[in-house]
Amino acid sequence: MELLFEMMLTFMRIGAFSFGGGYAMIPLFQKELVGHGWMLVSEVADVIAISEMTPGPFAVNAATFAGVKMAGLPGAIFATFGVVFPSVIITLVVARFFFGFQKKPAVQAGLWGIRPAVTGMIMAAAMTIACASFFGIHSGADFIAIANALDHIDWVSIGLSAAAFVAMYKFKLSPIITVFVCAGIGILLHMLVPGLF
């Protein structure tokens, strides 16, 4: 029971401080789960992939999947409640006052400052996940670890990542289709080239 309440409080922190939408929660999600020793970076990347390809809000899906992995169905319930509760309360409070103040220069300036911060946070999380996917670095992303891992580059993962980027950015392919296609390619490669992964 102690683990469940610790999980709920952790996900409340994630829900309360994840500004900028679902993907903006990835850095905090990763920091908290890896920091508590509940997941490896590669497992966080798996949860993100599964959360992306299932219907519903990303934050709720990610919390639910992480909760199931850590403590089964009770973990899913506590983690999901934890991530949703602060958002509901904060949204109710902000909605009460925001529309009266949204045109104020100070509010506009604050929002202008938040946008690049959220972008940077998402880029930091992407870097950590890329290090896990491309180089097998699971303990955090620093340039020394990357330099030491350059002879262990996973070119297949880099190729799939580049193809997914082009499919979504250039051709506007659905994220769900992109994830399923890449999963299918991964399964096919695993069957054709045993030991590749």
- Note the Cα 14 to chain centre separation in Å: 11
Rounded to an integer, what distance in angstroms lies between the CA atom of residue 110 and that of residue 102?
A: 10
Q: Are 162 and 145 in contact (CB under 8 A)?
A: no
Instruction: Indicate whether this model's pTM tops 0.75.
Output: no
Q: What is the pLDDT along the chain (197 residues), one digit of tens a residue?
A: 899 999 999 999 998 887 766 777 888 888 999 999 999 888 888 898 888 778 888 889 999 999 999 999 999 999 999 999 998 998 898 888 877 787 889 988 988 998 898 888 888 888 878 887 887 776 555 556 666 667 778 889 999 999 999 999 999 999 889 989 999 999 999 999 987 77
For residue 56, give the 3-state DSSP assignment. coil
**CA distance from start to end of the chain:** 36
CA 180 vs CA 45, 165, 169, 176: distances in Å: 15, 14, 17, 6
> Quick one: which of 74, 61, 59 has its CA closest to 2?
74
For residue 55, give the 3-state DSSP assignment. coil
Q: Would you list the domain boundaries of the chain?
A: 2-149, 154-197
Work out the number of other CB atoms within 10 angstroms of the CB of residue 109.
Answer: 10
